[in-house]
Amino acid sequence: MVADTWMRNLEANFDASRCPHEFKVQIVEYFLDEDAYTWWESIVPLYQQQSITWEIFKKEFERKYFPPEARDRLESQFNNLEQGKMSVRVYETLFMRLRRYIGPVRHDQEAMIRKFLWGLRLDSQGRLMSVTYTNLTELVERAVSIEEVVRKEQDLAATNGATQPMPMRNNIKQAGFNPSQKG
Protein backbone atom coordinates (compact mmCIF):
# COMPACT_ATOMS: atom_id res chain seq x y z
CA MET A 1 0.00 0.00 0.00
CA VAL A 2 3.00 2.30 0.56
CA ALA A 3 4.00 2.09 -3.10
CA ASP A 4 0.45 2.73 -4.26
CA THR A 5 0.11 5.74 -1.95
CA TRP A 6 3.47 7.09 -3.16
CA MET A 7 2.34 6.78 -6.79
CA ARG A 8 -1.04 8.39 -6.06
CA ASN A 9 0.65 11.34 -4.35
CA LEU A 10 3.12 11.69 -7.19
CA GLU A 11 0.34 11.70 -9.78
CA ALA A 12 -1.63 14.25 -7.75
CA ASN A 13 1.43 16.51 -7.67
CA PHE A 14 1.93 16.10 -11.41
CA ASP A 15 -1.72 16.95 -12.04
CA ALA A 16 -1.63 19.97 -9.73
CA SER A 17 1.49 21.32 -11.41
CA ARG A 18 0.21 20.44 -14.90
CA CYS A 19 3.42 18.54 -15.57
CA PRO A 20 3.61 17.36 -19.20
CA HIS A 21 3.78 13.56 -19.63
CA GLU A 22 7.11 13.74 -21.42
CA PHE A 23 8.83 15.14 -18.28
CA LYS A 24 7.30 12.84 -15.67
CA VAL A 25 9.79 9.99 -16.01
CA GLN A 26 12.77 12.33 -15.70
CA ILE A 27 11.26 13.96 -12.63
CA VAL A 28 10.30 10.70 -10.95
CA GLU A 29 13.85 9.35 -11.39
CA TYR A 30 14.98 12.13 -9.08
CA PHE A 31 12.59 10.90 -6.36
CA LEU A 32 13.61 7.24 -6.46
CA ASP A 33 15.63 6.29 -3.40
CA GLU A 34 18.51 3.79 -3.24
CA ASP A 35 16.89 0.40 -3.88
CA ALA A 36 14.18 1.85 -6.09
CA TYR A 37 16.75 3.72 -8.16
CA THR A 38 18.87 0.57 -8.49
CA TRP A 39 15.78 -1.32 -9.64
CA TRP A 40 14.99 1.42 -12.18
CA GLU A 41 18.54 1.33 -13.55
CA SER A 42 18.01 -2.38 -14.27
CA ILE A 43 14.75 -1.65 -16.13
CA VAL A 44 15.98 1.15 -18.42
CA PRO A 45 18.17 -1.11 -20.62
CA LEU A 46 15.14 -3.28 -21.40
CA TYR A 47 13.67 -0.34 -23.33
CA GLN A 48 16.75 0.71 -25.34
CA GLN A 49 14.86 0.62 -28.61
CA GLN A 50 12.03 2.85 -27.44
CA SER A 51 11.40 5.93 -25.39
CA ILE A 52 10.26 5.18 -21.85
CA THR A 53 6.89 6.84 -21.37
CA TRP A 54 5.11 7.61 -18.14
CA GLU A 55 2.75 4.69 -18.80
CA ILE A 56 5.70 2.31 -19.16
CA PHE A 57 7.19 3.59 -15.90
CA LYS A 58 3.89 3.10 -14.06
CA LYS A 59 3.46 -0.42 -15.47
CA GLU A 60 7.00 -1.43 -14.43
CA PHE A 61 6.68 0.27 -11.03
CA GLU A 62 3.40 -1.52 -10.33
CA ARG A 63 4.82 -4.86 -11.46
CA LYS A 64 7.72 -4.47 -9.02
CA TYR A 65 6.19 -2.68 -6.04
CA PHE A 66 2.49 -3.46 -6.26
CA PRO A 67 2.10 -6.90 -7.84
CA PRO A 68 -1.26 -8.69 -8.21
CA GLU A 69 -0.58 -10.73 -5.06
CA ALA A 70 -0.35 -7.53 -3.00
CA ARG A 71 -3.58 -6.26 -4.53
CA ASP A 72 -5.23 -9.62 -3.76
CA ARG A 73 -4.14 -9.40 -0.11
CA LEU A 74 -5.62 -5.91 0.19
CA GLU A 75 -8.86 -7.05 -1.45
CA SER A 76 -9.03 -9.93 1.02
CA GLN A 77 -8.44 -7.53 3.92
CA PHE A 78 -11.33 -5.42 2.65
CA ASN A 79 -13.63 -8.41 2.27
CA ASN A 80 -12.86 -9.56 5.83
CA LEU A 81 -12.88 -6.09 7.41
CA GLU A 82 -14.96 -5.68 10.56
CA GLN A 83 -15.09 -2.83 13.05
CA GLY A 84 -14.08 -4.91 16.04
CA LYS A 85 -12.66 -2.60 18.72
CA MET A 86 -12.07 0.29 16.31
CA SER A 87 -14.13 3.45 16.51
CA VAL A 88 -16.50 4.05 13.60
CA ARG A 89 -14.17 6.80 12.30
CA VAL A 90 -11.11 4.52 12.32
CA TYR A 91 -13.16 1.73 10.70
CA GLU A 92 -14.34 4.19 8.04
CA THR A 93 -10.77 5.32 7.30
CA LEU A 94 -9.55 1.75 6.86
CA PHE A 95 -12.67 0.86 4.85
CA MET A 96 -12.08 3.76 2.45
CA ARG A 97 -8.36 3.04 2.15
CA LEU A 98 -8.92 -0.64 1.31
CA ARG A 99 -11.92 0.06 -0.91
CA ARG A 100 -9.59 1.29 -3.67
CA TYR A 101 -8.35 -2.24 -4.23
CA ILE A 102 -11.58 -4.17 -4.78
CA GLY A 103 -12.28 -3.44 -8.43
CA PRO A 104 -15.41 -2.03 -10.06
CA VAL A 105 -17.77 -2.93 -7.20
CA ARG A 106 -16.23 -0.03 -5.25
CA HIS A 107 -18.38 2.29 -7.37
CA ASP A 108 -21.60 0.49 -6.37
CA GLN A 109 -22.94 2.71 -3.57
CA GLU A 110 -25.50 0.15 -2.37
CA ALA A 111 -22.89 -2.63 -2.16
CA MET A 112 -20.55 -0.36 -0.19
CA ILE A 113 -23.34 0.62 2.20
CA ARG A 114 -24.17 -3.06 2.83
CA LYS A 115 -20.51 -3.99 3.31
CA PHE A 116 -19.90 -1.14 5.76
CA LEU A 117 -23.09 -1.90 7.69
CA TRP A 118 -22.38 -5.63 8.00
CA GLY A 119 -18.86 -4.87 9.23
CA LEU A 120 -20.08 -2.75 12.15
CA ARG A 121 -20.32 -4.12 15.68
CA LEU A 122 -23.63 -5.77 16.49
CA ASP A 123 -24.57 -3.14 19.09
CA SER A 124 -24.58 -0.49 16.35
CA GLN A 125 -25.61 -2.69 13.45
CA GLY A 126 -29.00 -3.57 14.89
CA ARG A 127 -29.89 0.08 15.40
CA LEU A 128 -28.91 1.02 11.85
CA MET A 129 -30.56 -1.80 9.88
CA SER A 130 -34.09 -0.43 9.70
CA VAL A 131 -33.11 2.68 7.73
CA THR A 132 -32.44 2.91 4.00
CA TYR A 133 -29.31 4.94 3.33
CA THR A 134 -28.78 6.87 0.10
CA ASN A 135 -25.01 7.11 0.46
CA LEU A 136 -22.15 5.85 2.58
CA THR A 137 -21.53 9.22 4.24
CA GLU A 138 -25.07 9.24 5.61
CA LEU A 139 -24.57 5.76 7.10
CA VAL A 140 -21.19 6.66 8.60
CA GLU A 141 -22.54 9.79 10.28
CA ARG A 142 -25.49 7.86 11.68
CA ALA A 143 -23.15 5.10 12.90
CA VAL A 144 -20.97 7.68 14.67
CA SER A 145 -24.06 9.04 16.45
CA ILE A 146 -25.20 5.54 17.43
CA GLU A 147 -21.71 4.71 18.66
CA GLU A 148 -21.84 7.74 20.96
CA VAL A 149 -25.26 6.70 22.30
CA VAL A 150 -24.04 3.14 22.91
CA ARG A 151 -20.95 4.47 24.71
CA LYS A 152 -23.11 6.69 26.95
CA GLU A 153 -25.43 3.76 27.72
CA GLN A 154 -22.45 1.60 28.65
CA ASP A 155 -21.00 4.36 30.83
CA LEU A 156 -24.35 4.82 32.57
CA ALA A 157 -24.74 1.08 33.12
CA ALA A 158 -21.22 0.90 34.55
CA THR A 159 -21.90 3.87 36.85
CA ASN A 160 -25.24 2.48 38.05
CA GLY A 161 -23.73 -0.93 38.54
CA ALA A 162 -20.96 0.50 40.72
CA THR A 163 -23.24 2.54 43.01
CA GLN A 164 -26.24 0.21 43.22
CA PRO A 165 -25.16 -3.40 43.52
CA MET A 166 -27.64 -5.94 42.30
CA PRO A 167 -29.41 -7.57 45.26
CA MET A 168 -28.70 -11.22 45.77
CA ARG A 169 -31.67 -13.56 45.89
CA ASN A 170 -30.81 -14.79 49.40
CA ASN A 171 -30.84 -11.24 50.79
CA ILE A 172 -34.30 -10.40 49.51
CA LYS A 173 -37.11 -10.82 52.01
CA GLN A 174 -39.84 -12.60 50.17
CA ALA A 175 -43.37 -11.49 50.92
CA GLY A 176 -45.31 -14.65 50.44
CA PHE A 177 -49.05 -14.95 50.12
CA ASN A 178 -50.84 -16.46 53.08
CA PRO A 179 -54.59 -16.89 52.54
CA SER A 180 -55.25 -17.19 56.27
CA GLN A 181 -54.05 -13.63 56.90
CA LYS A 182 -56.67 -11.00 56.71
CA GLY A 183 -56.26 -7.52 55.61
Measured N-to-C along each axis, helices 68-79 and 88-99 cross at an angle, to the nearest 10 degrees, of 150
Radius of gyration of the CA atoms of the chain, in A: 29
pTM of the model: 0.70
pLDDT-derived band at 168, boundaries 50, 70, 90: very low
For residue 87, the one-letter residue type is S
pLDDT digits (tens, 9 = 90+) for 3-36: 888 999 999 999 999 999 899 999 999 999 999 9
Q: Given a cut of 90, is residue 103 above it in pLDDT?
A: no
pLDDT at 104: 80
Mean pLDDT, all residues of the chain: 87
pLDDT at 110: 93
pLDDT at 107: 81
pLDDT digits (tens, 9 = 90+) for 108-165: 899 999 999 999 999 899 899 989 999 999 999 999 999 999 899 888 888 886 555 4
For the residues 73-81, what does the mean pLDDT come to? 94
Please report, rounded to a whole number, the percentage of residues in the chain having pLDDT higher than 90.
63
pLDDT-derived band at 180, boundaries 50, 70, 90: low
For residue 166, the one-letter residue type is M
pLDDT at 183: 53
| Contact predicate 119/91, CB 8 Å | yes
Q: How far is CA 38 from CA 43, 57, 100, 118, 180, in A?
A: 9, 14, 29, 45, 100
Checking phi first, is residue 43 left (phi over 0); if not, alpha (psi -120 to 50) or beta? alpha
